[in-house]
Structures are given as structure tokens and as C-alpha cells.
Amino acid sequence: MKESKPAPRKTKRAVRTLGPEKTAQIYAALARDRPDPHTELKYINPYTLLVAVALSAQATDVGVNKATAKLFAVADTPEKMLALGEDGVADYIKTIGLWRNKAKNVIALSRILIGEFGGIVPSTREELMRLPGVGRKTANVVLNEAFGQPTIAVDTHIFRVSNRTGLAPGRTPDEVESALERVTPPEWKHGAHHWLILHGRYVCKAR
């Protein structure tokens, strides 16, 4: 009887990482290209930003902006959105993927904002993530854009750029976010999210 041979071990591929000097050079170059980076989503106030980011899941910013231009013209506060109702919201966002569920979440989060936060968008990740349809990525975008906090929301673009360049390699978005928090110099942290997402969207594209 032949002895069974153990399966060969898979060798781990070495992860290329960058040093502090190279990391700083990358951010400096991105900052020169876009000195004042912001989200490409159109919004009026923190509430409409929250809604726009929640709607942008599995959708393009261009598509969301087309839908929200008319929606926000009639409902730019939780109270107005609640008055519009789920069916009313749905009529404006039917061109966006998963619109039925998103309309339900927009009404639900609006109701919670009114009932628990006085109609004001909270400025902590924990409170934001209590809202329907708001995950860590959405919360981080709102915290960065609306409240100026140095958060980084890792989407597919930032995940790709971070791994491809060796800036902040990771197997999951959470790992990449943690790595970016560690390696990004303090002076670049606020702009890092926008610089990386725009670089991934327009320069370091998916192959």
C-alpha cells in the first residue's frame, strides 16, 4: 500500500509594502494633483450627503446625482423626506440599483433621525451605523466630508490602489482601512480618502 503524501503547502506571496518616505511622496503627488479633494456626489447638507452616499451602494456617482437632483429639490430634510413617503422616494430613484430597498432605508433612517437625533445627522460612526442602510463605509464618507474627520472609507477603488501600489495591502476592506490608518501621515489623513478613490477611479483602474 502506497503511503499518502502530504499535500504541498501553499507558499505565501510576499506582500510589497512601502516605506514612510515613499508613502509621503505618493500623498504629496496626489495633493498636488487635487489640492482640495471632495466627493463627486452632489449634496446640500449633511442629511442629503448621508442619503446620497447610502444610495450610491452598487451604483455610480453619476447615476445617483441624476436621481438626487430632483429628489433633493423637493426633500432636503428628514421631515420633508418622511412626508414624501416610501413610494414617493421610490419614484425619484428607480434608475438606481436596489431602489426598492434603498427607498425603504431612506424613510427608515429619516424617521430615526427625527425621533432620536432631533432631525440632525450624528457625527459619530457608532450612531451613524445604527441607521438603516448605513454601514462602516457610508459612515466614514459622511464623517470625512460633512464633519471634516480624518476617516477613510475603503471601496473597490481604494482597495485596489492600496494593494496594487503596496501602500496599504490587505485581504479585506477592514484590513486595508486599518493599514491606511497606520501608514498615512497625519497631515494627509483628511484628504486620503478622496485622493485614493479618485486615483483609482480615473488613473489606477481595474484591468
Q: Which residues are catalytic?
A: 137, 155
Rounded CA-CA distance 69/158 in Å is 27
Q: What whole-number distance in Å separates Cα of residue 176 and Cα of residue 158?
A: 9
- Alpha carbon distance 106, 83 (integer Å): 12
CB distance 70 to 92 below 8 Å = yes
What DSSP string runs through 137-163? HHHHHHHHHHH--------HHHHHHHH
One-character DSSP codes across 3-72: PPPPPPPPPPPPPP---HHHHHHHHHHHHHH-SS---SS--SSHHHHHHHHHHTTTS-HHHHHHHHHHHH
Rounded distance between C-alpha atoms, residue 64 and residue 96, angstroms? 7
